[in-house]
Structure 1
Amino acid sequence: METGKYYAAGELIAFGAAIFMATGMSAAHAAPIANGLVKANLRGIDSHGVSRIPMYVERLQKGLVNARPDVKVVEVSGAVSSVDGDNGMGFVASQIAMGEAVRLAAKNGIGLVGVHRSTHFGMGALYALQAIEAGYVSMVFTNSSPAIPMWGGRTVFLGASPIAAGIPGGKYAPYVMDMAMTVIARGKIRLAAMRGEPIPAGLALDSDGNPTTDAAKAFEGVCLPFGGVKGSVLGTLMDLMSGVLTGAGFGGDVKSLYFDHTQAQNVGHLFFAIKPDLFMSLTDFNGRMDTFYERMKALPRAAGVDEIMLPGEPEQRREEERLRQGIPITDNVVADLASEGNRLGVAFPAGRDKRLDAA
């Protein structure tokens, strides 16, 4: 049986920020990265949460990630900018890029920002939520290191390359979509491997090309694209738009976050921000979003379904729950984080055996 403790979001953010600053990172960069990781935990996307801290720290300390990047933003046309991430943490370049996309959209109605020389940027929904908070519609593209084959191929070539999008709601929940091109996010396979848990059949192949339910073998092997050829085609689009178009790595060039400790990754991202009131007033747009939501909730439900929810709504509810009850962290992840903290002189919080609202 899996065991662990509950942690308040604030104490995990403080720990994460202190860890990153111990690598030489500025507080201005460390805090948003820690916030982004804990945001993933809050929303139930634990594969992209604080469990990744030791891996990021290793890359920072080996010089594969620049702890103090000089991120450069260049406006290349009226509604388009390019961002050079200087091989810093992808969270930093991406937050800057989405902010720039929103700035351009405020002026032009739409903003498009391409990023090169970046690294893994965490949960894609972070940047859709950033745009929603500013009141903008958004789309987020990224490529990543090879994880799935081209359709018809038998070796990895395309990344898991998630796509995210966000649309502000009216008085109800916003639309927030974030999904990888694999049947299951590669980070979830990694988390299962860390926990010693099997994965369902049909998600991955081992390094010899055989179907496997062993998470460790799957993580070292080939993830399968969701929807067969359709997932492969979308993965191709992510690599072309995020890599070829932006000047980042592409076509198998992006270095593995997990296995390649020889070079910087050179991940590419593409951020779109769009004003929601381009075709009508904001009042009318919000009203139409409310109407959509109400019609969706009134739809006849399939057998066994209690409620139909908008994409992103389950994660929003999980966040509200975990803000009240604390974030559950399993013992093996706690041990890894405590060990990293001891090595860098940062104490890991004690946590609670009971949930915060039950204490």
Structure 2
Amino acid sequence: MSDMIFKCDNLISFSQEILKKLGLNENDAKTVSKILIEADLRGISSHGIARLPIYAKRIEYGLINPKPAIKVLEENQTSALLDADNGMGHIASYQAMELCIKKAKISGTASVAVKNSNHFGINAYYTMMATKANLIGMAFTNTSPLMAPFGGRERLLGSNPLSIAIPAGNEPDVVIDMATSVAARGKLEVAERKGESIPKDWAIDEKGEATIDPRKGLAGALLPFGGPKGYGLAIFVDIVSGIITGSNFGPNCGSLFEDLDRPQNIGHFFLAINIENFIEIKEFKKKMDIMIQNIKTSKKAVGFQRIYMPGEIEYDKHIELLKNGIKLSENTIEQLNKLAQNLGVPNRLS
């Protein structure tokens, strides 16, 4: 078997069947599957359907609750705190952003936090929920300790990603989705699966030396982007996701892959801003288009043929893969089909 291309709907259906066999209800399985395949469509395969085997392992080990009873612990007009009940992070996060959007539509700005949660997929999925409602969306999550502080070599901080999405008019929405490390751990995982090397500034090995070997980088620590700048942002994300929510933070956050004896207990933080509290949405989108066009038509630096807005590459990839299908590696297909066989799911990727 070699790499193969699959239609989006087929992968969503396959994922749903896997998740239902793992104990998720129909609605939750659909929500998680859509978020996973959206990652693949945007070219972020590290957070796509390839994550199903590790989710399955954690559910089977009793480390993720497949049937969470999500509760609102604290709530007022502009904020709320949800308890994810140790369920898949996608489920509580989807509900959190829905609530955040609803509150922002009424009150102008709203924030909703989630505690007692797990890995939630790509940040951008949730911020794009806000742009579809003509709001600015922000999302933050802490992760297991993957990154060294600026000047250090111990893994004390997560890659702690963040996303900010802003609606535009005729132009694609501006979608920032980034780890606070130079590269997300998922990119090292992809390089390891493909047997490829990594850039020298992505990670250090256990001795604190730069490495191009993804295996040594995964055993060592990721590096913050921009040195102290990414380091500072990572601390901020850990505070709003971990400390504020009452979740784990810093080195106490559970690892999705390595800590197979305890839940992750991480947190997420979502924020939505109602643009119409400041300016009419039609006027805002008109000005956004002007800004985007001014940037994209500006003079290019040597070696560049095109200037991209944040999220534009992923937007183009989404259109391409939605039409032509999503390519999965031979290794990923084998892992997913083995998982389906072990769970008694009749469908196979072929």
Question: What is the TM-score with the length of structure 1 in the denominator?
Answer: 0.94
Q: Helix, strand or coil for the counterpart of 1:259? A: coil
Q: Helix, strand or coil for the counterpart of 1:63? A: coil
Of the structure 1 ranges 121-130 and 200-209, higher mean CA displacement relative to structure 2 is found in 200-209
Q: How far off its partner does 1:204 sit?
A: 1.0
Q: Helix, strand or coil for the counterpart of 2:152? A: coil
Looking at structure 1, the residues matched to 16 and 209 of structure 2 have their Cα atoms a distance apart, in angstroms, of 41
Say whether the 8 Å CA contact 1:338–1:347 is kept in structure 2.
no
Over the aligned positions, Cα root-mean-square deviation in angstroms equals 1.4
Q: Partner letter of residue 52 of structure 2?
A: I
Say whether the 8 Å CA contact 2:134–2:281 is kept in structure 1.
no
Q: Which residue of 2 aligns with 1:47?
A: 46
User: Superposition pairs for residues 78-157 of structure 1, below 5 Å?
Assistant: 78-157=77-156
Q: How far off its partner does 1:150 sit?
A: 2.1
Say whether the 8 Å CA contact 1:204–1:212 is kept in structure 2.
yes
Q: Deviations over 1:31-86 (max 9, x none)?
A: 11111111111110111111111001100111100000001124533201111100
Q: Which residue of 2 aligns with 1:324?
A: 323
Q: How far off its partner does 1:306 sit?
A: 2.0
Looking at structure 2, the residues matched to 76 and 305 of structure 1 have their Cα atoms a distance apart, in angstroms, of 49
Q: Which residue of 2 aligns with 1:168?
A: 167
Q: Which residue of 1 aligns with 2:201?
A: 202
Q: Partner letter of residue 9 of structure 1?
A: C
Q: Helix, strand or coil for the counterpart of 1:148? A: coil
Q: Which residue of 1 aligns with 2:25?
A: 26
Q: Partner letter of residue 137 of structure 2?
A: S
Q: Which residue of 2 aligns with 1:357?
A: none
Identity of aligned residues (%): 37
Q: Which residue of 2 aligns with 1:228?
A: 227
Q: Which residue of 1 aligns with 2:211?
A: 212
User: Superposition pairs for residues 188-199 of structure 1, below 5 Å?
Assistant: 188-199=187-198
Looking at structure 1, the residues matched to 75 and 347 of structure 2 have their Cα atoms a distance apart, in angstroms, of 44
Q: Helix, strand or coil for the counterpart of 2:188? A: helix
Say whether the 8 Å CA contact 1:255–1:266 is kept in structure 2.
yes
Of the structure 1 ranges 159-168 and 284-293, higher mean CA displacement relative to structure 2 is found in 284-293
Looking at structure 1, the residues matched to 207 and 303 of structure 2 have their Cα atoms a distance apart, in angstroms, of 39
Q: Which residue of 2 aligns with 1:354?
A: none
Matched, 1:262 2:252: no
Q: How far off its partner does 1:307 sit?
A: 1.9
Q: Helix, strand or coil for the counterpart of 1:11? A: helix
Unaligned segments of structure 1, at least 5 residues: 352-359
Matched, 1:341 2:340: yes
Looking at structure 1, the residues matched to 128 and 77 of structure 2 have their Cα atoms a distance apart, in angstroms, of 24
Looking at structure 2, the residues matched to 96 and 290 of structure 1 have their Cα atoms a distance apart, in angstroms, of 30
Q: Which residue of 1 aligns with 2:237?
A: 238
Question: What is the TM-score with the length of structure 2 in the denominator?
Answer: 0.97
Say whether the 8 Å CA contact 1:337–1:348 is kept in structure 2.
no
Q: How far off its partner does 1:209 sit?
A: 2.7
Q: Partner letter of residue 20 of structure 2?
A: M
Q: How many correspondences in the alignment?
A: 350
Runs (4+) of structure 1 exceeding 6 A deviation are none
Looking at structure 2, the residues matched to 143 and 189 of structure 1 have their Cα atoms a distance apart, in angstroms, of 18
Looking at structure 2, the residues matched to 228 and 277 of structure 1 have their Cα atoms a distance apart, in angstroms, of 37
User: Superposition pairs for residues 344-359 of structure 1, below 5 Å?
Assistant: 344-351=343-350
Q: Helix, strand or coil for the counterpart of 2:252? A: coil
Q: How far off its partner does 1:347 sit?
A: 4.0
Q: Deviations over 1:204-242 (max 9, x none)?
A: 122333322211221122111111111111111111111
Q: Helix, strand or coil for the counterpart of 1:40? A: helix
Q: Partner letter of residue 171 of structure 2?
A: Y
Say whether the 8 Å CA contact 2:7–2:326 is kept in structure 1.
yes
Looking at structure 2, the residues matched to 40 and 180 of structure 1 have their Cα atoms a distance apart, in angstroms, of 15
Q: Partner letter of residue 334 of structure 1?
A: I
Matched, 1:10 2:5: no
Looking at structure 1, the residues matched to 150 and 203 of structure 2 have their Cα atoms a distance apart, in angstroms, of 14
Q: Alpha carbons of 1:347 and 1:200: their partners in 2 closer, same or farther (altered >3 Å)? A: farther
Looking at structure 2, the residues matched to 38 and 347 of structure 1 have their Cα atoms a distance apart, in angstroms, of 20
Q: Helix, strand or coil for the counterpart of 2:165? A: strand
